[in-house]
A and B are shown apart, each in its own frame.
Chain A
Amino acid sequence: MAKFKTRLKVKMKDGKVNVKAIMSHPMETGRRKDKKTGETIPAHFIKDVVVTANDKPVLTAEWSIGVSKNPYLSVNYAGKSGDKVKISWKDNKGNTGEAEKTVK
Chain B
Amino acid sequence: MKRRTFLKGSLAAGVTGAAVGGGLLAPSMAFAGDAAATTDPYAATSVEDALKALGITAEDSDKITVTAPDLAENAAVVPVEITTTLDSAEEIIVMVSKNPTVLVAKFKLGETADHGVKCRFKVGKSGDVIAYVKAGDKYYTAKKAVKVTKGGCGG
What residues on A are CB-neighbors of B76 within 8 Å? 68-69
Interface residues on A, range: 35 or more
Q: Is there contact, CB below 8 Å, between A62 and B112?
A: no
Of B6, B96, B112, B121, the contact of A77 (CB 8 Å cutoff): B112
Interface residues on B, range: 35 or more
User: Does B77 sit at the interface, judged by CB under 8 A?
Assistant: yes
Closest to A16 in B: B114
Q: Is there contact, CB below 8 Å, between B116 and A33?
A: no
What residues on B are CB-neighbors of A66 within 8 Å? 96, 99, 101, 103-105, 121-122
Q: Is there contact, CB below 8 Å, between B14 and A62?
A: no
Q: Whole-angstrom distance between the alpha carbons of A75 and B121 in the complex?
A: 16
What residues on A are CB-neighbors of B116 within 8 Å? 75-76
Q: Whole-angstrom distance between the alpha carbons of A56 and B13 in the complex?
A: 38
Q: Is there contact, CB below 8 Å, between A79 and B14?
A: no
Closest 4 pairs (CB-CB, A-B)? A30-B17, A43-B17, A66-B104, A74-B118
Q: Mind listing 8 A-B residue pairs with CB under 8 Å?
A: A30-B18, A31-B13, A33-B5, A47-B21, A64-B104, A65-B14, A69-B77, A92-B24
